Amino acid sequence: MFNLSRYFLTLSFVLVVLAAGVLGPLYRNLSLQQLNELAEARNLAMASVFDNAYRQKLNDLLLASSGLAVAQLRQSAGDSGLQQASSQLFAGSEVIKVKLYNRLGVTVFSTEAAQIGDIRLDSGGFKAAMTGGVFSELTHRGEKAAFDRTLREGDVFATYLPLRSQDQTVIGVIEIDQDITPHLRRLNINQWLMFAGVFGAFALLYLGQFVVVRRGQGILEEQEGRIKAACETLEIQVAARTDELKRINTRLEAEVGERRQAESKLNYLAYHDPLTGLANRRYFIERLQETMGETSRRDQRLAVLFIDLDQFAQVNDTLGHAVGDELLVAVAARLSEHVRLIDMLARLGGDEFICLMEALRDEEDVAVLAGEIIGAFESPFQIGEHELFLSASVGIALFPGDGESVVDLMRNADTAMYRAKAAGRGQFCFYSPEMTATARERARMENLLRRALGQGELAVHLQPQVRASDGQLVGAEALVRWQSPELGQVPPVRFIPLAEETGLIIPLGEWVLRESCLQVMQWQLADYILPMLSVNVSVRQLQHPGFVTRLSAILTETGLPPQRLKLELTESVVMGVEGGEDILERLRDLGIQLAIDDFGTGYSSLSYLKMLPVQQLKIDRSFVIGIGQNTGDEAIIRTVIELAERLGFEVVAEGVETEAQAAFLAGLGCYCLQGYLHGKAVPPEDFRNRWLRPS
């Protein structure tokens, strides 16, 4: 018999303990949150009073702090009179300490003089305040000094908030420390009182329910007898039901036949692609494994052909996945119907197909098959109202010779396919061992580049940009350099394209932006002013969601004014990014300047160019080196400068290496020159020593 009373006692006790365990911490957390909000509000109010009362002295301390030693900082703070004024201002309040930090995290004032000169650049509160926010934290501390007393062990609530100039630029951080020990003690007392009240209420509720449960136990015992009688009746009914089940058994046998048909269908689906009906990866691997064994026993050869559709991604992106699926079905049907020499055709997934050719006589047979595959794409595919043109790249691996296992053979065919795609698409390529070495070297460099991003192997160098008319510095272009412990100095032409292909250009580009902006602002704090910073932006960066938001955050984090940043984009970036014009408009709205790099080497439309929000065109060095040697290059330069002048653009010439080139460009009205004539890209320290002077 189920004992309701016993289980009620156990369950109720557990629930009371759980309720107390939940309500106690919940009440404390809510009360502590409210206390923190009140303490932060008091700190903000006291900081506002402190700022309003001594604004000029605070500004003077911040301006004078640059480059001072600790002893000089303490002397400056003492001369300001803020120590005595702060003691009078906060006397009798719960504020126990006030500190002021400059933008470099140096403590330029503290009511505890021994802390003046400390550096808090890594403090989370300082970082948050420097970005314009307010940060508060509650800590438990030992003995501490206040304005007019020494406090024993207790709890301190610290608030960091930005100190802004008249133009709302953050020029420093104020820290206010408040003693909230008495408030926490009252909170603990209230918590115990609340706990006692809740426990008493639960006890009364428990007693009331216990009476009800005891009554319920009696009712259950009465019902037990009735249930026994019902069970006897049920046994009689079960006997009658048994006869009925025998009749049902006959029907189940028919259902078993249907189940076997379903299993057969599932087996088909396990070995075939549900979209195209071709063999799937599993089926192909098993067939290839079996065929390789037979080929070895019969001393024959076979070929694996890896097929990739060249423009399929554009179809998916522009017309949607539904049209893409229909196109895959049409491709599978055409290959099956028109390519005669295929012994097995399978779809691996996406837009990748693979086929098997058995009993191979010579490589010419494989070349014929690859030609038939490529030829199958010569006529367009009609998908609904869309007439679509595709091409295919084919990679070929032979057995024996190009791999001793299924995995090796398929991987090498895939490698050969990528070589065919790189050669111009719509082609086929046989695998060679050199391809594996190239692929491994590429993978090794990719891994080293990923490591370089986090291990300080990358550096930003700066190349000067000077005014053509007088040779004065007008800006610098930031260029990334990689010094690898394994590879040595790696030229950008080797690792930048790899970063583009693998997507590493996203974190790499963000790192270059942040590092170069930080460098410019560090110089500014030391009174070295760089008028304009130029940074290259790739198509992958511009396409990445949130690029404008991240760039804005970097400018806020580093403090660099947007008007002193110029992004250089190639014509292919501007023309090839969907919605590129809108992105450029957003960048211009931030105040960032834009330049078209390598102008004249792409296929841009002049009618499109006049609508872009750019301010500058950069003439590619391939034209500049022809000055004095190639009249065609000189004519192009004249045309570009005249075009830029009519459109209101500035012109920068890259790759200027001789005085004759500089004179020619200056004579045509070119605004700015960049090249080895005025300097290579050098580390920041060398650039500052050569080009910058204290303002």
Domain that holds residue 327: 281-431
Q: Residue 181 — φ and ψ, nearest 5°? A: -55, -45
Question: Residue 356: pLDDT above 70?
Answer: yes
Q: Say which range, 110-114, 545-549, 587-591, has the weakest mean pLDDT.
A: 110-114
What pLDDT band is residue 690 in, cutting at 50, 70 and 90? Answer: very high
d(CA 83, CA 87): 6
Polymer length in residues for the chain: 695
d(CA 159, CA 98): 10
Is 135 inside a domain boundary?
yes
Is 389 inside a domain boundary?
yes
Of 146, 165, 185, the last residue of a domain is 185
What pLDDT band is residue 88 in, cutting at 50, 70 and 90? Answer: confident
pLDDT of residue 3: 63
pLDDT of residue 269: 77
Owner of token pair 């201002």 = 89
Same domain membership, residue 498 and residue 381: no
Residue 264, SS3 per DSSP: helix
Average pLDDT of the chain, as a whole number: 84
Same domain membership, residue 565 and residue 417: no
Sign, CA torsion 500/504/510/516? negative
d(CA 159, CA 648): 50
Same domain membership, residue 622 and residue 485: yes
d(CA 35, CA 256): 70
Same domain membership, residue 331 and residue 378: yes
DSSP 380: P
Same domain membership, residue 608 and residue 518: yes
Same domain membership, residue 574 and residue 458: yes
Same domain membership, residue 155 and residue 27: yes
Owner of token pair 């006897």 = 232
DSSP 563: G
> DSSP string spanning 473-485?
EEEEEEEEEEEET
Q: What is the mean pLDDT of residues 319-329?
A: 87
DSSP 178: E
Q: What is the mean pLDDT of residues 289-315?
A: 86
Per the CB < 8 A criterion, the answer to whether 102 and 65 are in contact is: yes
Q: What is the CATH number of the domain that holds 678?
A: 3.20.20.450
Cα-based distances in Å from 270 to 267, 564, 623: 5, 61, 60
Same domain membership, residue 425 and residue 462: no
Q: Which of 422, 303, 313 is nearest to 363 (CA)?
A: 303
Strands laid side by side in the 154-164 sheet: 107-110, 95-102, 170-179, 154-164, 135-141
Task: Give the model confidence (pLDDT) of 230-272 as tens digits.
Answer: 888 888 888 888 878 888 877 777 677 677 776 767 777 788 9
Burial class (CB in 10 A: 0-12, 13-18, 19+), 317: exposed
Q: Which of 42, 93, 36, 99 is nearest to 73 (CA)?
A: 99
399-432 in b/e form (b: 16+ CB < 10 A) is beebbeebeebbbbbbbbbbbbbeeeebbbbbbe
d(CA 335, CA 374): 10
Per the CB < 8 A criterion, the answer to whether 429 and 374 are in contact is: no
Task: Give the model confidence (pLDDT) of 403-432 as tens digits.
Answer: 888 888 988 888 888 888 877 778 888 888
d(CA 572, CA 599): 10
For the chain, percent of residues with pLDDT exceeding 70: 92
Task: Give the model confidence (pLDDT) of 509-567 as tens digits.
Answer: 999 999 999 999 999 999 999 999 999 998 778 878 888 999 999 999 999 999 999 99
For the chain, percent of residues with pLDDT exceeding 90: 23
Task: Give the model confidence (pLDDT) of 190-216 as tens digits.
Answer: 878 877 787 787 778 777 777 777 777
> Is the bond preceding 400 in cis, omega lying within 30 degrees of 0?
yes
Helix boundaries (H) for 155-300: 181-271, 281-297
pLDDT of residue 143: 61
Q: What is the mean pLDDT of residues 275-291?
A: 89
Is 46 inside a domain boundary?
yes
Is 222 inside a domain boundary?
no
Q: Which residue has the higher pLDDT, 92 or 36?
A: 36
Q: Which of 113, 138, 132, 108 is nearest to 32 (CA)?
A: 138
Kindly report the pTM of this predicted structure: 0.50
d(CA 322, CA 386): 12
Q: Residue 27 — φ and ψ, nearest 5°? A: -65, -45
Is 246 inside a domain boundary?
no
Q: What is the mean pLDDT of residues 468-482?
A: 94
pLDDT of residue 688: 94
pLDDT of residue 222: 78
d(CA 132, CA 503): 32
Helix boundaries (H) for 625-658: 631-647
Per the CB < 8 A criterion, the answer to whether 50 and 86 are in contact is: yes
pLDDT of residue 265: 73
DSSP 279: B
Residues 6+ apart with CB under 8 A from 136: 36, 39, 40, 43, 125, 157, 158, 159, 160
d(CA 496, CA 588): 26
Of 185, 205, 229, the last residue of a domain is 185
Is 614 inside a domain boundary?
yes
pLDDT of residue 583: 85
d(CA 130, CA 126): 6
Is 566 inside a domain boundary?
yes
Question: Residue 457: pLDDT above 80?
Answer: yes
Q: What is the mean pLDDT of residues 172-199?
A: 82
Question: Residue 686: pLDDT above 90?
Answer: yes
pLDDT of residue 667: 92
pLDDT of residue 6: 66
Is 155 inside a domain boundary?
yes
Q: What is the mean pLDDT of residues 272-300?
A: 89
Q: Say which range, 178-182, 265-269, 476-480, 618-622, has the weakest mean pLDDT.
A: 265-269
Q: Say which range, 134-138, 437-441, 618-622, has the weakest mean pLDDT.
A: 437-441
Within 10 A of 655 (CB to CB), how many other CB atoms are there?
17
**Ramachandran region of residue 471, left (φ > 0), alpha (ψ -120 to 50) or beta?**
left
Same domain membership, residue 642 and residue 522: yes
Same domain membership, residue 110 and residue 56: yes
Per the CB < 8 A criterion, the answer to whether 585 and 615 are in contact is: no
Question: Residue 83: pLDDT above 80?
Answer: no
Highest mean pLDDT: which of 78-87, 176-185, 485-494, 539-548?
485-494
Per the CB < 8 A criterion, the answer to whether 446 and 438 are in contact is: no
Radius of gyration for the alpha carbons in the chain, expressed in angstroms and rounded: 39
Residue 361, SS3 per DSSP: coil
Helix boundaries (H) for 280-346: 281-297, 312-319, 321-338
pLDDT of residue 147: 61
Same domain membership, residue 337 and residue 424: yes
Same domain membership, residue 465 and residue 418: no
d(CA 303, CA 61): 79
d(CA 559, CA 336): 62
Q: What is the mean pLDDT of residues 388-404?
A: 87
Q: What is the CATH number of the domain that holds 403?
A: 3.30.70.270
pLDDT of residue 315: 78
DSSP 400: T
- Which tokens in the block code for residue 318? 């522009």
**Ramachandran region of residue 91, left (φ > 0), alpha (ψ -120 to 50) or beta?**
beta
CA 566 to chain centre: 22
Question: Residue 487: pLDDT above 70?
Answer: yes
State how many domains the chain has. 3
Q: Residue 473 — φ and ψ, nearest 5°? A: -70, 130
Q: What is the CATH number of the domain that holds 115?
A: 3.30.450.20
Of 147, 170, 185, the last residue of a domain is 185
